[in-house]
Amino acid sequence: MSVVGDSVREVDETSRTRRIATDYVDSLEQRAWPRLTALLADDVVYEMPQSRERIRGRSAFVQFNAEYPGDWHLQVRRVVADGRLAALWLDVRVAAERQDACVWLEVSEQGLINWVTDYWPEPYDPPPGREHLVERW
């Protein structure tokens, strides 16, 4: 029975993480700052490895989002949750511009987001030498 018990607990934890990850994006999209605040651990760490930037703490992180310029909109394309880890693939629009983002987050045992890492991959031209295998869109 312990295997079944572990499996059910694992699915429950994963379901919670999946819901929190989706709520996180929705609270950003809605500019629902109290709702975002309630999802975050007090000592949440937010990282953007491409620019080597880090924000520490819930209030700075909420402020960062509240001050983020532009009429930006977020939509979840895929969410993958696994225990207390999640990965989000986002469709981000700012006015007529569109970009994908990859977001990694971790939920604490208490059910609060304690770590978020964003990647903002930019378009680039393909290097030469693989045209024989590749189609473009």
CA–CA distance, 76 with 22 (Å, rounded to integer): 8
Q: What is the 3-state secondary structure (H, E, C) of 11-78?
A: HHHHHHHHHHHHHHHHHHHCCCHHHHHHHEEEEEEEEECCCCEEEECHHHHHHHHHHCCCCEEEEEEE
Q: Which two tokens stand for residue 1?
A: 């029975």
Q: How far is the CB of 20 from its own copies (least distance, A)?
A: 14
Q: How far is the CB of 110 from its own copies (least distance, A)?
A: 20
Does the footprint of its own copies cover residue 104 (CB under 8 A)?
yes
Alpha carbons within 13 A on the beta-carbon side of 32: 12
Does the footprint of its own copies cover residue 94 (CB under 8 A)?
no
Does the footprint of its own copies cover residue 42 (CB under 8 A)?
no
Identified binder of its own copies from the candidate list 52, 72, 90, 97, rule CB under 8 A: 52
Instruction: Give whichever of 32 and 80 is closer to its own copies, judged by the CB atom.
Output: 80
Contact 113, 36 (CB under 8 A): no
Identified binder of its own copies from the candidate list 71, 97, 109, 135, rule CB under 8 A: 135
Binding site for its own copies (CB under 8 A): 4, 7-8, 10-11, 14, 18, 48-56, 60-61, 63-64, 67, 69, 78-82, 85-87, 89, 100, 102, 104, 119-126, 129-130, 133-137
